[in-house]
Amino acid sequence: MTVTVNTQATVTVQPVNQTVCTDKVATFSVTATIPLGTIAYQWEVSTDNGNTYTAISNNTIYSGATTPTLTITRPPVSMNGYMYRCRLQGPAPCTPAYSFFRILTVNPLPTVVISASPYVKLFPGLRTVLSSTVSPVAAATYTWRRNGGVVGGANTGTLNVDVDGLGDYTLTVTDVNGCTNTSNLISITDSVMANCFLYPNPSNGRFQVRYYSVNNNSVLPRILTVYDARGVRILTQDFGITAPYSRMDLDLRRYGHGVYWVELGDRNGSRLTICRAVVE
């Protein structure tokens, strides 16, 4: 007569604690052996600090509830501190074995809010500062984006912007827990001014000239014509326009000290504005 003696499953590799952000995936795994038969796995969860455990069913958050690996997808913060163990049932009449319990730590995504002060509309000479607040824990890294592209060298919680930086800004933050989120969007736009902006003025002869133009109308070139104090034309330059207040560089150093008049015209020869430049 042959007698079969069944034994409990033996856990050879215990699960480990898991820490995860609310947009990520955590897994608990167990490895077990048994001399005869097969093992039925059932993961259980305790929501009351280990006082009671409930069998887990697969749903939108849990998968693999009856396998050696339990997968938890995008857990909410409310699951922080939940305890997990695996029930391992061998052939009857043996009692089940249990893995060690392990704890799930769920960290929230950072809340990132950006604002601009003192302006959201700029013209040449004005600057504004984008600043941020991050909660509930401190930020570890900052990535500013303008019109979807990363702003080079911008790796703090503030960003200075002038008229050359018009666009839509967001800030992506990774906090000290390794969780990442993106802020609201702030649009820094142009302030329509019909003035001629020429600076620095006076200067040694090198100037920036700016004038408001409709965004991206590069098919409408601008023409700078410079006259000396006697009204003699000394220089004409063409510039393509690619953005409001596109920069036009003017160099009058070779014409010497004095007062000059800078006329800005369109492709039809119409005068748009005129401004005074002083070379010292």
What's the CATH number where 117 sits? 2.60.40.10
Q: What percent of the chain has pLDDT above 70?
A: 94
Q: What is the DSSP code string of 207-265?
A: EEEE----TT-TTS-EEEEEE-TTS-EEEEEEE---STT--EEEE-GGG-SEEEEEEEE
Q: List 273's β-bridge partners, or say none.
A: 264
Tell me how many domains the chain contains. 3
Distance CA 195, CA 214 (A): 14
pLDDT value for 220: 67
- For residue 52, the enclosing domain spans 10-107
Do both 125 and 159 map to the same domain? yes
Last residue of a domain, one of 107, 130, 156: 107
Q: Is residue 3 part of a domain?
A: no
Do both 97 and 115 map to the same domain? no
Do both 33 and 99 map to the same domain? yes
Q: Is residue 4 part of a domain?
A: no
Q: Is residue 122 part of a domain?
A: yes
Last residue of a domain, one of 136, 157, 190: 190
Last residue of a domain, one of 190, 216, 251: 190
Q: Is residue 2 part of a domain?
A: no
Query: For residue 208, with 0-12 CB atoms within 10 Å meaning exposed, 13-18 middle and 19 or more buried, which class applies?
Result: middle
Predicted TM-score (pTM) of this structure: 0.74
Residue 207: which CATH number? 2.60.40.1930
What phi and psi, each to the nearest 5 degrees, are found at residue 163? -65, -20
Q: Is residue 267 part of a domain?
A: yes
pLDDT value for 214: 62
pLDDT value for 216: 47
Do both 163 and 207 map to the same domain? no
Q: Is residue 127 part of a domain?
A: yes
Do both 266 and 205 map to the same domain? yes
pLDDT value for 121: 87
Q: Which positions of the chain have pLDDT values less than 70?
A: 1-6, 193-194, 214-220
Do both 164 and 227 map to the same domain? no
Q: Is residue 231 part of a domain?
A: yes
Q: Is residue 246 part of a domain?
A: yes
Do both 165 and 244 map to the same domain? no
pLDDT value for 270: 74
Tokens representing 88?
């391992």
